[in-house]
Amino acid sequence: MTSVHEQDVVPPGRGLLPDAARIFVAGHRGLVGSALARRLTADGHEVITRGRERLDLRDAARTAAFLRDTRPDAVVLAAAKVGGILANSTYPVEFLEDNLRIQLSVLAGAHAAGVPRLLFLGSSCIYPKLAPQPITEEALLTGPLEPTNEPYALAKIAGIAQVRAYRRQHGAAWISAMPTNLYGPGDNFDLETSHVLPALIRRFHEAERAGADEVLLWGTGTPRREFLHVDDLADACALLLRRYDDDGPVNVGCGEDLTIRELAELVGEVTAYGGRIAFDPSKPDGTPRKLLDITRLATLGWRPKVALREGIASVYQDWLASGRD
Binding positions for NADP(+): 27-33, 121-124, 156, 179-182, 195
Q: DSSP letters of 207-268?
A: HHHHT-SEEEEES-S--EE-EEEHHHHHHHHHHHHHH---SS-EEE--S--EEHHHHHHHHH
Is-contact 144 127, C-beta < 8 A? Answer: no
- Closest CB 111 distance from ligand NAP, rounded Å: 19
* 183 carries an active-site annotation: no
Q: How far, CA to CA in Å, does 28 sit from each of 99, 132, 208?
A: 16, 33, 33
For 161, other C-beta atoms within 10 Å of its C-beta total 14
Catalytic residue selected from 127, 152, 166, 244: 152
CA dist., res. 255 & res. 283, Å (int):
28
- Closest CB 189 distance from ligand NAP, rounded Å: 12
Binding positions: 27-33, 121-124, 156, 179-182, 195, 203, 218, 225, 285
Is-contact 185 36, C-beta < 8 A? Answer: no
Binding positions for substrate: 203, 218, 225, 285
CA dist., res. 157 & res. 151, Å (int):
10
Question: Closest CB to ligand NAP among 177 and 207?
Answer: 177
Beta bridge partners of 225: 258, 290
Q: For residue 267, which phi and psi values (nearest 5 degrees)?
A: -65, -40
Interface residues with ligand NAP (CB under 6 A) are 27, 29-33, 52, 56-58, 78-82, 98, 102, 121, 123, 179, 181-182, 195
- Closest CB 32 distance from ligand NAP, rounded Å: 3
- Going across the sheet that includes 74-77, the strands are 46-48, 22-26, 74-77, 117-121, 173-179, 250-252
Return the residue nearest ligand NAP (CB atom): 30
- Closest CB 7 distance from ligand NAP, rounded Å: 34
Question: Closest CB to ligand NAP among 30 and 72?
Answer: 30
Helical (H) or strand (E) element with 151: helix 150-170
- Closest CB 172 distance from ligand NAP, rounded Å: 19
Question: Closest CB to ligand NAP among 56 and 256?
Answer: 56
Helical (H) or strand (E) element with 290: strand 289-290
CA dist., res. 159 & res. 176, Å (int):
9
Question: Closest CB to ligand NAP among 17 and 78?
Answer: 78
Active site residues: 152
